[in-house]
């Protein structure tokens, strides 16, 4: 069993090294990001500060942000960027500031797409906005012609649509709550917006219907492989507390 795990890890690292090399040398990077090597790179960045640092050293962030515009690449590119934002650590803030340029693409995709693509973009948005000041995020919304109330409405609608966990998009409710928490912490006016939209009822529904499926960040088929450090119940509690405080 352990030999098999070691072989799998070695294979993942080999695939990750291939894409890292192609990103660094600008060889065939687009095709690789969209394939198995892109999935491997996302996994290598998952919960590994050292691997995140290696990726950041190659100054590949801009290429990954550009890949968000390419249909065959954007799911893996979004996963890689989200993991870089989540697991690189606070000392990489300056290196990751470049991910903020992804915000317009991410917002438009959340508002117009569904299912897997929407899931990964909501997850990325929850991380990208953490690298902006409140003023900078306001400028992004204004420039894109999207009001924060519209995004809030879209998030509530996602929870209404997905009243139970789905094996196809098991992280979408978690990511929606993470983004809603950021929005409410960013601007007090968003708290009232979410209250008016009935966010409390949707959070209660999530709390009552959450399953073990939503505890994991990656899967092998239908089997969860890596647990989130924060439970979905904890996220619901945080969001409810913000809504109660207003």
Q: CB-based contacts of 200: which residues, under 8 Å, 6+ apart? A: 240, 243
Q: Which residue has the higher pLDDT, 218 or 231?
A: 231
Q: What is the pLDDT of residues 169-197, one digit of tens each?
A: 999 999 999 999 999 999 999 999 999 99
Taking the CB of residue 138, how many other CB atoms lie within 10 A of it?
14
- Whether the predicted pLDDT of 222 surpasses 60: no
Whole-structure pTM value: 0.86
How many helices and strands (H and E) does the chain possess?
A: 15, 2
**Residue 207: its pLDDT value, please?**
95
Closest of 97, 98, 96 to residue 87, by C-alpha: 96
Q: What is the pLDDT of residues 146-167, one digit of tens each?
A: 999 999 999 999 999 999 988 8
Through-space distance between the first and last CA atoms of the chain, rounded to whole angstroms: 53
The CA distance from 168 to 165, in Å, is 9
Q: What is the pLDDT of residues 61-100, one digit of tens each?
A: 888 899 899 888 899 999 999 999 999 988 888 889 999 9
φ, ψ of residue 103 in degrees (nearest 5): -55, -45
Round the average pLDDT of the chain to a whole number and report it.
85
In the chain, where are the structural domains located? 148-246
**Percent of the chain beyond pLDDT 90?**
56
Taking the CB of residue 70, how many other CB atoms lie within 10 A of it?
12
**Cβ–Cβ under 8 Å, residues 98 and 62:** yes
Q: Which residue has the higher pLDDT, 135 or 1?
A: 135
Q: Is the dihedral of CA 12, 54, 129, 140 positive or negative?
A: negative
């Amino acid at each position: 069993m352990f030999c098999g795990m070691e072989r799998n890890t070695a294979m993942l690292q080999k695939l990750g090294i291939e894409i890292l090399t192609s990103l660094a040398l600008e060889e065939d990077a687009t095709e690789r990001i969209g394939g198995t090597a892109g999935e491997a790179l996302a996994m290598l960045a998952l919960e590994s500060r050292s691997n995140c640092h290696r990726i950041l050293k190659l100054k590949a962030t801009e290429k990954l942000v550009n890949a968000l515009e390419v249909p065959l690449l954007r799911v893996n590119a979004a996963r890689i960027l989200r993991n870089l934002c989540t697991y690189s650590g606070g000392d990489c803030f300056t290196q990751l500031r470049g991910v903020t340029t992804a915000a317009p693409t991410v917002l438009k995709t959340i508002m117009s797409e569904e299912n897997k693509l929407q899931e990964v973009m909501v997850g990325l948005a929850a991380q990208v906005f953490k690298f902006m000041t409140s003023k900078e995020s306001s400028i992004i919304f204004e420039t894109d012609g999207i009001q924060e109330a519209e995004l809030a409405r879209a998030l509530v609608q996602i929870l209404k649509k997905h009243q139970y966990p789905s094996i196809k998009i098991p992280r979408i409710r978690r990511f929606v709550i993470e983004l809603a928490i950021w929005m409410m912490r960013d601007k007090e006016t968003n708290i009232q917006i979410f209250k008016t939209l009935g966010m409390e009822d949707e959070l209660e529904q999530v709390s009552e219907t959450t399953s073990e499926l939503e505890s994991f960040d990656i899967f092998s088929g239908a089997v969860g492989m890596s647990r989130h450090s924060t439970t979905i119940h904890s996220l619901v509690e945080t969001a409810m507390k913000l809504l109660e405080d207003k």
